[in-house]
């Protein structure tokens, strides 16, 4: 791991700080994320870029939100709160979110360029916002735009 991305290095530094502060919850959370990052790095056989790190962090957030929903359904509010807290903690490693207005204008531009269905719109819009917007958010805006036509 000679060349680590700045975001990967930041997570490692935060893990070290959590270890020094004896913050067990943060230590466990970031240790899990770093393990996921190292596995991804082994799979890729190359150093991770910030985009790769953001992808792994997004997947971690998604897993925690899914767990949170299951805990709420099962009546385990204390565990749901913990999952929500972990997801919120991980969100600080994501780039600034894209506004809905910016997504709407990109979707409208894709429709104007000839994209007539969800798949075509997503194919044009997703690469523009890789790592900065959630696919479900873009999909919802695309469906709304198509319904308004």
Q: Name 48's Cβ contacts closer than 8 Å, sequence gap at least 6.
A: 4, 5, 8, 37, 40, 41, 56
Burial of 137 (0-12, 13-18, 19+ CB in 10 A): middle
pTM above 0.85, yes or no: no
Phi-psi region of 66 (alpha: psi -120 to 50; beta: other; left: phi over 0): alpha
Phi-psi region of 42 (alpha: psi -120 to 50; beta: other; left: phi over 0): alpha
Comparing CA positions, the residue from 38, 33, 133, 140 lying closest to residue 87 is 33
Tell me the CATH number for domain 6-91. 1.10.1510.10
How does pLDDT run across 104-146, given as a tens digit for each residue? Answer: 898 888 888 887 788 888 888 888 887 677 788 888 888 888 8
């Amino acid at each position: 791991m000679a060349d680590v991305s700045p975001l990967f290095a930041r997570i490692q530094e935060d893990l070290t700080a959590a270890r020094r502060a004896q913050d067990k919850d943060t230590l466990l959370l970031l240790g899990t994320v770093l393990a996921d990052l190292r596995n991804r790095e082994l799979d890729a056989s190359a150093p991770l870029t910030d985009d790769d790190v953001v992808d792994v962090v997004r997947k971690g957030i998604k897993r925690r939100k899914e767990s949170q929903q299951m805990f709420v359904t099962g009546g385990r509010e204390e565990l749901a709160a913990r999952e929500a807290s972990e997801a919120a903690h991980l969100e600080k490693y994501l780039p600034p979110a894209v506004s809905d207005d910016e997504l709407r204008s990109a979707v409208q531009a894709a429709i104007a360029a000839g994209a007539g269905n969800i798949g075509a719109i997503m194919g044009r819009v997703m690469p523009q916002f890789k790592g900065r917007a959630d696919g479900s958010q873009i999909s919802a805006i695309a469906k709304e735009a198509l319904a308004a036509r």
